[in-house]
Chains A and B, each alone.
Chain A
Amino acid sequence: MAQRKISRVQAAPPPILLTGLGVQYDLRLSKKRKLRDTVLRDGRHSQSGKFWALRDVDFRVEAGESVAVIGPNGAGKSTMLQVLAGILEPSVGKVEVRGKIATLLQLGAGFDPELNARENTLLVGEFLGIPHKEMVRRVPAILEFAGLGEFAEAEVRTYSTGMRARLGFSVATSVEPDVLLLDEVLSTGDAAFIEKSRGRIMELMKRARAIVFVTHDLDSAATFCTRAIELEGGRIVADGPAKRVIAAYKKKMAKRSATASRSGQGARRGN
């Protein structure tokens, strides 16, 4: 359970502050989760069936920083974004995020297939807690950016995957956030839209006070971000300037895959 301590507001509190954060999953409650398969051999998985997706994370993002979160699958990257977005509550420790948040996790969440683009925009706006009037004002711009053409009046169930993602992107990026949380969304739709969405994200990044960007695309992380943290097994194992951390991570991964393929060949030879 989260600590009940009330944080004292300092002179200039950072936009993001995680202290002693831990997120625990109880695998007995969620037997169907894939987590179990990926983590079974992991030390984090204790006998009681509890599993720490994040453990002892202290993380502070100052205004103006953009932080890339890198690491292998199952390292806790997405969990971290979910905690920052307020979707998951920490089991221990404290989360503080200040300011308006925009999360670009999976696009198109909250759409109702029976409603049209306009209605869905308003619906997702309500899920996000954006005041209705403000949302109504934004609808034309959102629809225009999504570029749905004549489909704007049709039900979302008739949309192609790309159209759905475009609408999702355009709704999610319509907020002007103080804190921007991104999870690998730069590859949405066709080439033209990717270009357009890249531009939009750059714009948001320029205006946001803090950015956390989860990605496997190390090159774009090195270009966009000022800082990078590497997660492994739910803990932060590296933190520093983006270029340095990413270069070190790449070297480590290359070494690891070399060892893996060598042992793989050895096993095959052994047979």
Chain B
Amino acid sequence: MTTHSTELTVGRPRRGSIGTIFESLTSLVERRRLVWYLTISEIRNKGTNSLLGNVWWFLDPALQLFVYFLLVSVIFQQAQPAILLFLGAAILPWKWFTAALASATTSVRGREQVMRQIAFPHLVLPASSVLASVANFIFALVPLGALYLLYPDRLTPWALAVLPVAVVQFLWTIPAVIALSAVAVFFRDISNFIPHGLRIWFYLSPALFPIETLRAIGDRHPWFGFFVDINPFTWIFSGYRDALYYGRAPEWGPLGILALASIPATLLSIYLFRRVSPLFVKVL
């Protein structure tokens, strides 16, 4: 019998808030390969079980764009030049966000089996959902790029600025997914509520109409103007639209502030996630 390897594997003492966050982050780094495997499997699973398979990655955003195009330009007869590009610049990134939140509601809950059998840092689950959601954005770039065939004169070098804007969106997707994945364990009803909540949020953001429309309402009702200002998607949509549609520089100031503000939000979400994660196995 060996007498060595007496290292404590279960029952490490609990740490303070900074220690907890630090421990969670190191566990992600240690399990980066697991995060990657889970990401790949999540992306792959989306493509299976349907006739058109991976074609849906392109078709889905394209169809959604078409629906809003009908709504805005045919039914509401809103006159906006290059309307498809105008809409696409906001709708396609939004699709990424909604897909991320939808997968967040199941990312922890759906792994009930393995959580009951193996001890592992649960944070890898929402982390991989965040990463897998990026696929939505990458594939949406294809229909988005195709729109420039219709409006070639709209294409400027500023189109490359979508990348920093997307980074800002990504930075806010992280805490949103982590927090939601934990909440969804305790309140299953939240997955019913999320689509409606997201729809309201969508209509209160400058997606189907220019920012000026919201600003006009804000001038009449200052509280509404305040909400427009603190809504991250006001700035994110405007950023995409500046880059893709107007062919000008996005407003770096507010985007930079948003990016910085995502850091405390992410750390807080990680801390809260870690604090409630011991309950997951008991509740699921």
Contacts and interface: CB of A to CB of B under 8 A. Distances in A.
Given A25-B282, A82-B281, A127-B114, A95 B1 contact: no
Interface stretch (A105-113, A143-151, A190-198): A105-113
Nearest to B112: A109
27 contacts: A2-B11, A2-B13, A4-B13, A6-B13, A7-B8, A12-B6, A13-B6, A29-B279, A30-B284, A63-B1, A64-B1, A82-B281, A85-B119, A86-B9, A88-B278, A88-B281, A89-B278, A94-B11, A96-B8, A97-B8, A100-B9, A101-B9, A114-B48, A123-B41, A127-B120, A178-B5, A209-B2
A270 interface: no
Nearest to A24: B282
B5 A99 contact: yes
Interface of B: 1-3, 5-11, 13-14, 30-31, 33-34, 37, 41, 44-45, 48, 113-120, 186, 278-279, 281-284
A13 B7 CA distance: 10
Nearest to B31: A126
Interface of A: 1-2, 4-7, 9, 12-13, 15, 25-26, 29-30, 63-64, 82-89, 94-101, 103, 105-106, 109-110, 112, 114-115, 122-124, 126-129, 132, 178-179, 209
Given A97-B8, A129-B31, A114 B45 contact: yes
B113 A110 contact: yes
B118 A103 contact: yes
B31 to A, nearest CB: 7
Contacts of A30: 282-284
B270 to A, nearest CB: 18
A110 B117 contact: yes
B114 A29 contact: no
Nearest to B16: A4
A103 B91 CA distance: 47
Contacts of A6: 13
Given A98-B5, A100-B5, A114-B48, 5 more contacts: A64-B1, A86-B119, A110-B113, A128-B120, A179-B9
A178 B10 CA distance: 13
Nearest to A1: B14
A2 B113 CA distance: 24
A20 to B, nearest CB: 13
Contacts of B278: 88-89
A98 B186 CA distance: 32
A29 B282 contact: yes
Contacts of B120: 127-129
The main secondary structure of chain A at its interface with chain B is loop
Given A114-B41, A126-B34, A87 B5 contact: no
B48 A87 contact: no
A122 B114 contact: no
The 3 closest A-B pairs by CB, nearest first: A109-B117, A86-B119, A126-B34
Nearest to A84: B10
B186 A29 contact: yes
Contacts of A105: 116-117
A44 to B, nearest CB: 15
A105 B114 CA distance: 10
Contacts of A96: 8, 10-11
A88 B115 CA distance: 10
A132 B119 contact: no
A64 B120 CA distance: 27
A87 B8 contact: no
B1 A209 contact: yes
B115 A87 contact: yes
B281 A87 contact: yes
A29 to B, nearest CB: 5
B10 A97 contact: yes
Contacts of B7: 98-99
A83 to B, nearest CB: 8
A12 B7 CA distance: 11
B8 A109 contact: no
Nearest to A119: B37
Given A25-B282, A29-B282, A109 B118 contact: yes
A103 B10 contact: no
Contacts of B282: 25-26, 29-30, 88
A198 B83 CA distance: 69
B118 A110 contact: yes
